[in-house]
Structure 1
Amino acid sequence: MTQDTPQSPLRAAHAPEVLPLGQDSLLVRFARAASFEATAACLAFQRAVETLALTGVRDVVPSLTSVSVQFDPSVLDRATLVAAITPVLSKAATDALLPAPTRRWHIPVAFGGDFGPQLSEFAEVSGLSEAQILKEAQETELRVLAIGFAPGQPYLGYLPEGWQVPRQRNLTPRVPAGAIATAVRQMVLFTNASTTGWRQIAETGFRPFVQDRAEPFLLRQGDALRLEQVSHDTYRDLKRNDAEGLGGAKCEVLT
């Protein structure tokens, strides 16, 4: 069973904003809160701007709710860029749905205990039972909504409404690489040890980024991802002698 979050185009109340960002960038914001619709609009806008192939545009970088358009001001001035991208803004905001994934990753995960030390705390603050958390975490087909903060680090979502839990008031000083932490209906799979305000409920040996690997970055924005629970002993076995950082993960190519 897969729990899918219904998608619908962004409404006029969420008209995109075009904001200056430093001397050489624009920020196009489609929403102030993350949702499938906002992320879909960001991806649609990214594709549309890249199709325009504007001379002077250096990069187009989407996030969950906004897109940074970076340009060379010696080649392209801000006013000309705004005029060029304006025609594609409304279409991206009103027509976009998150495209079907072309790949689905199956990721072995150890929940709770030493590998998910805040699982019980998350259950308490969310009102969900631990059994329900494990069930919904595995039944929900997650999508790679954005990659950032650290190299290759994915933000995954969106989870059911019961997972709409704010970040912690105080930071956890350190979660390890491979930690899976959750807040605001999303998960982060940490590629490096990190401080975080998200609650760690699981851990995986899958490393989306390994600098010395033949393919350093494994995940792409839009990929689907399924968590699959394994025992703590099986998890330890999967990590042992895993030089590639796959942790038993498998990639399914979708037609």
Structure 2
Amino acid sequence: MAELPRIRYVGLSGLLVQFGTDMSEPANRAAIAFRAAVDAHNWPEVRETSTSLVSTFISVDLAACAPEPLVEKLQALLETRNWLESPLPAGRTFWEIPALYGTDAGPQLEEAAEAAGVSPETAIAELSEARMRVLTLGFAPGQPYTGELPPHWNIPRQQALTQSVPAGALVVAIRQLIVFTNATPTGWRHVGQTAFRNFRPDSDTPIALSPGDEICFRSVSAAEYARIQQSDTSGNGGAQREILS
């Protein structure tokens, strides 16, 4: 296997710069930082960029554009630093999103806590106090995968699917938390509920969160959650945010 990082072709749609084969904090940080560096160069042949958990995708029409010059530029950029130790780009956002844990709003909290080897009370404390990173967006429009939780939260997905969880559902597995953008089946455990909608197709910013943003899901009471539902019709779900330098 070629040494990492490596550049791979994705058919005729572009190039993939891979920093890892498994999810890790350094590889995810490298992918986000490298994407920002590519964007800063504003190369004319690059249509857009995106990141997965451990890779940066550079969209290029390889049927119309010879790939070799861009590969050379990407390789030169890779050699400018150790991307696994690169800082995250400035201008990211820290989000604090209210979440109601347990009860009927998070019916699998106790099951998830047992799988993690902690009490439900400890589970709520750990999940609500963790400061997570938006690792990537995927599966559904704007759906954020956030991580990483402590190692004991490396709990597996369920054997069977939950038929449907609602939009705003907070689910957990493999050291990650996801806020679902619409009602959908899932094999992840439903531990809480938010009024936050990351996918807002009618907004000037259809997807609020970006990879590299930081996030925590603050625990609120049922009464406070009901108040947020009634008073916030923006899709922000009572979230507070600040720009990180």
* TM value normalised by structure 1: 0.86
Aligned to 2:61: 72
Aligned to 1:44: 33
* Match status 1:24 vs 2:13: yes
Q: Distance in 2 between the 1:131 and 1:100 partners?
A: 35
Q: Distance in 2 between the 1:117 and 1:209 partners?
A: 24
* Match status 1:161 vs 2:151: yes
Aligned to 1:194: 184
State the superposition RMSD in angstroms.
2.1
Q: 8 Å contact 1:61–1:67 — kept in the other structure?
A: yes
Superposed CA offset, 1:27-57 (max 9, x none)? 2221122122111110121122223333322
For residue 47 of structure 2, give the secondary structure of its aligned residue in structure 1: strand
Q: Distance in 2 between the 1:163 and 1:126 partners?
A: 5
For residue 206 of structure 2, give the secondary structure of its aligned residue in structure 1: coil
Which aligned runs of 4 or more in structure 1 are off by greater than 6 angstroms? none
Aligned to 2:76: 87
For residue 236 of structure 1, give the secondary structure of its aligned residue in structure 2: helix
Give the one of 223, 227, 239 matched to 1:233: 223
Superposed CA offset, 1:102-151 (max 9, x none)? 43222111001211111111112121221221111122111222122222
For residue 56 of structure 1, give the secondary structure of its aligned residue in structure 2: coil
Superposed CA offset, 1:190-209 (max 9, x none)? 11111222111111011122
In the alignment, structure 2 segments of 5+ residues that lack a partner are none
For residue 37 of structure 2, give the secondary structure of its aligned residue in structure 1: helix
* Inter-CA distance 207–14: structure 2 relative to 1 (3 Å threshold): farther
Superposed CA offset, 1:52-109 (max 9, x none)? 3333221111111112111122442223322221122243534323346743222111
In the alignment, structure 1 segments of 5+ residues that lack a partner are 1-12
Q: 8 Å contact 1:44–1:92 — kept in the other structure?
A: no
Q: 8 Å contact 1:147–1:153 — kept in the other structure?
A: yes
Count residues with an aligned counterpart.
Answer: 243
* Match status 1:147 vs 2:162: no
* TM value normalised by structure 2: 0.90
Q: Distance in 1 between the 2:84 and 2:228 partners?
A: 44
